[in-house]
Structure 1
Amino acid sequence: MHVLLCEDDDLIASGIVAGLDAQGLTVDRVATASSARAMLSAAHFDVMILDLGLPDEDGLKLLRQIRQQGVEIPVLILTARDTVTDRVDGLQAGADDYLLKPFDLRELSARLHTLVRRMAGRSVNVIEHGVLSYDPSSRETRLAGQPVDLSRREQALLQALLNNSGRVLSGEQLKDCVYGFGDEVESNALNVHIHHLRRKLGGRIIETVRGLGYRLGPAGHDSEPTP
């Protein structure tokens, strides 16, 4: 999961980044509304954490603007504004969830997973695809009931494909799902991850669509790791 964190408090932001990173999430942090706009236009994110008290403008203004522009990214407001009116204003501005500071990182992570799950149209956390299952919260992958050890990048790639079943994703879209904005990415890195997933989960797990990108393979019942 690729998270955009818009939080101007360095201490809070560093704690969120470290905590979510430890749970396998990729987090890019910005401190201003203008930087958030730039990031949203430059890369793909699965979910956004938005503080309201930003130094250049109120977070609600940013939220209303991106919704007016048709940006559908799930947004969780993370703020100390705790009145009912504040919560109603945030939700009516286009937020999908509202969490008060101070907060527990486990709850924040669970709420993010729930937002992404709903965005993908799923009612349960575990994603099933034929004999393959993946739990984004526990990061557990199983093939025909047997656990499969995937690296963090492989998990992110698999989740991106599972969340977009039937859609063709370009190489750049997949890189945005797997890597942070500032990560150094070697030219063949994505191909290496795809090769490893095919080796571990079966050659048909990822289909190459020539000239366009990649998509999730058919949900067959005979998937076997590639020797």
Structure 2
Amino acid sequence: MRVLIIEDSRELAGLIGHALKRAGMDVDFVGLADEARLAVQAVQYSAIVLDLGLPDADGFAVLDQLRKRHDPTPVLILSSRSALGDRVNGLDRGASDYMIKPFAMAELIARLRALMQRPPEIPSPIFAMGNVTFEAGSRRATVGGNTFTIPARESELLEVFLKRGGKVLAHDVLDAVVFGGKHDHSSNAIEVYVHRLRRLLAEAGADVEIHTIRGVGYLMKPGMAARATAQA
């Protein structure tokens, strides 16, 4: 069992490492986010202990990069940030556990052991176009890396648009996705939800566009800004 400790305090990292080694674990230390990125690319760890207050980046950036790579390594956030919002944010972004400093070393060891005994998680598929991503499992949508709120119906539309990547989607296909083939809604319901999705994406700064293909359906593709960036 090899554990990576990402902690900028050498003293605290040393104390944690000594305790984990006594518990039978191998330990590596890094104090910067950039060092952490290199370490996880070189070694498959059994678990990671992650501090959020790193000198060169927020620890959440390290977590985000891991999960974007579909790396299922258990991550235990160990932070002095005790606010409920921070804890919820950490778990929503893919952390396996969250502990607040100060902490009991015995509890940290017990939680790490529990994480490493779990069967490996199967990463949820992530669909993307331009600066828009959608994680199917958590139903989390982002624009430019920032999470934005999207209602359930619009969320279903966004997922299928991104999943089908640049293909024209017929009206009846979208109807089946959003309403499950039921016919208890108005005939223009899809048009209404597509309009709402367009507005939500535009307000969030998305660089994709949804085009109406007359008599056929709809097409999502990168907008002019995204194409200009790709050609630069």
Q: Deviations over 1:67-118 (max 9, x none)?
A: 0111110000000000100100111111000001111111001000111111
1:181 matched to which residue of 2?
none
Aligned partners of 1:3 and 1:28 also within 8 Å: yes
Opposite residue 69 of structure 2, the aligned amino acid is Q
Q: Are 2:77 and 2:98, in contact at CA under 8 Å, matched by a contact in 1?
A: yes
Flag the structure with larger Rg: 2
Residue aligning to 2:102: 102
**Corresponding residue for 2:70?**
70
Could you report, residue by residue, the CA deviation over 1:181-203 in whole angstroms, capped at 9, with x for unpaired residues? Answer: xxxxxxxxxxxxxxxxxxxxxxx
Q: Which residue of 2 aligns with 1:81?
A: 81
Task: Give yes or no for the alignment of 1:17 onto 2:17.
Answer: yes
Structure 1: unaligned runs, 5 residues or longer: 122-227
User: Which deviations, in whole Å up to 9, do the C-alpha atoms of 1:32-83 show, x marking residues without a partner?
Assistant: 1111110111111100000000011000111112101111100000000001
User: Contact 1:74 / 1:119 at 8 angstroms: preserved in 2?
Assistant: no
Give the counterpart letter for 1:2 in structure 2. R
Secondary structure of the 1:99 match is strand
Counterpart in 2 of 1:29? 29
Q: Does the alignment pair 1:43 with 2:19?
A: no
Backbone CA RMSD of aligned residues: 1.1
Seq. identity, % = 44
Counterpart residue number, 1:118? 118
Q: 8 Å contact 1:76–1:99 — kept in the other structure? A: yes
Pairing 1:43-192 to 2, within 5 Å after superposition: 43-120=43-120
Give the match's secondary structure for 2:24: coil
Asked if the contact 2:80/2:102 (under 8 Å) is kept, the reply is yes
Contact conserved, 2:6 with 2:50, CA < 8 A, in 1?
yes
If asked which structure has higher relative contact order (CA below 8 Å, sep 6+), I would say 1
**How far does residue 119 in structure 1 lie from its aligned partner after superposition?**
3.0
Residues 5-40 of structure 1, C-alpha deviations (whole Å, 9 max, x = no match): 000011110100111111111110100111111011
Contact preservation (8 Å) 2:3, 2:25: yes
- Aligned twin of 2:207: none
Give the distance between the partners of 1:112 and 1:31, measured in 2 at CA.
Answer: 20
Alpha-carbon separation, structure 2, partners of 1:119 and 1:64: 21
Q: What is the SS of the residue equivalent to 2:35? A: helix
Query: Which letter maps to 2:106?
Result: R
List alignment gaps of at least 5 residues for structure 2: 122-232
Provide the C-alpha distance between the structure 2 equivalents of 1:8 and 1:48, rounded to a whole number of angstroms: 14
Q: State the Cα distance separating 1:120 from its structure 2 match.
A: 4.9
TM score, norm. by length of structure 2: 0.51
Mapped partners of 1:78, 1:65: distance in 2: 18
SS, match of residue 102 in structure 2: coil
